[in-house]
């Protein structure tokens, strides 16, 4: 398998996120939701690396960033790199958090901005790829109908009606398939954890 250079990964991430953001700004709710989900994975990786001693704070900071991105989305200049804009918001939220919590030892850690945006998005892409592989393995254990219903409704964000139409089954069957599939996945995870 050929490895894609980090610069191309970042470029691909930039293009994908930029496209989702612009479609979201044009009123495409699904694209905007996908943009926020993809951004949250990158932000989570960014904060995990910097707040290893305070893992409970990571999710709060991710949510603060997503809220700031949402509130400031109309100020985004579409001619500028989106990942840099997101990175700047994340940096400011991190600095604010450090100030609020007075973590003297964290405030005195050297901060290297060089390649920071690239690290933010490339490591998050690797984590996302690993999670995607794990999810694929889990979903492969399910019958096709349950797997399809979960993928369409939970991962792709389709409505139950759209999923039923695409799969050629009733809406009630979709709901049952999702419920049974999630129950089976939970049981598989419990057994593998022991």
Torsion region of 115: left, alpha or beta (phi above 0 gives left; psi -120 to 50 gives alpha): left
Half-sphere exposure of 160 (CA within 13 A, CB side): 10
Confidence of residue 131 (pLDDT cuts 50, 70, 90): low
- In this predicted structure, the answer to whether residue 107 has a pLDDT above a threshold of 50 is no
In this prediction, residues 132-156 reach a mean pLDDT of: 83
* Residue 34 CB-density burial (10 A; 0-12 exposed, 13-18 middle, 19+ buried): buried
Contact status, residue 29 vs residue 20, Cβ threshold 8 Å? no
Q: What is the pLDDT of residue 188?
A: 80
pLDDT in tens, 39-55: 998 899 889 888 888 88
Contact status, residue 2 vs residue 10, Cβ threshold 8 Å? no
Q: What is the pLDDT of residue 3?
A: 43
Predicted TM-score (pTM) of the model is 0.50
Q: What is the pLDDT of residue 81?
A: 87
Contact status, residue 131 vs residue 113, Cβ threshold 8 Å? no
């Amino acid at each position: 398998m050929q490895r894609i250079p980090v610069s191309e990964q970042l470029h691909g991430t930039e293009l994908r996120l930029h496209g989702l953001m612009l479609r979201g700004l044009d009123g495409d709710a699904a694209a905007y939701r996908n943009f926020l989900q993809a951004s949250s994975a990158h932000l989570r990786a960014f904060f995990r690396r910097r707040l290893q001693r305070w893992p409970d704070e990571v999710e709060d900071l991710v949510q603060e960033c997503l809220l700031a991105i949402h509130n400031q989305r109309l100020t985004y200049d579409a001619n500028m790199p989106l990942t840099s804009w997101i990175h700047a918001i994340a940096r400011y939220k991190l600095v604010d958090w450090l100030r609020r919590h007075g973590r003297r030892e964290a405030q005195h850690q050297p901060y290297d901005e060089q390649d920071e945006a690239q690290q933010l998005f490339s490591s998050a892409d690797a984590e996302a790829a690993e999670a995607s592989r794990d999810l694929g393995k889990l979903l492969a254990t399910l019958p096709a109908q349950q797997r399809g219903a979960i993928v369409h409704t939970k991962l792709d964000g389709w409505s139950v009606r759209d999923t039923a139409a695409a799969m050629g089954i009733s809406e009630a069957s979709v709901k049952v398939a999702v419920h049974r599939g999630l129950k089976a996945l939970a049981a598989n995870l419990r057994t593998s954890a022991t």
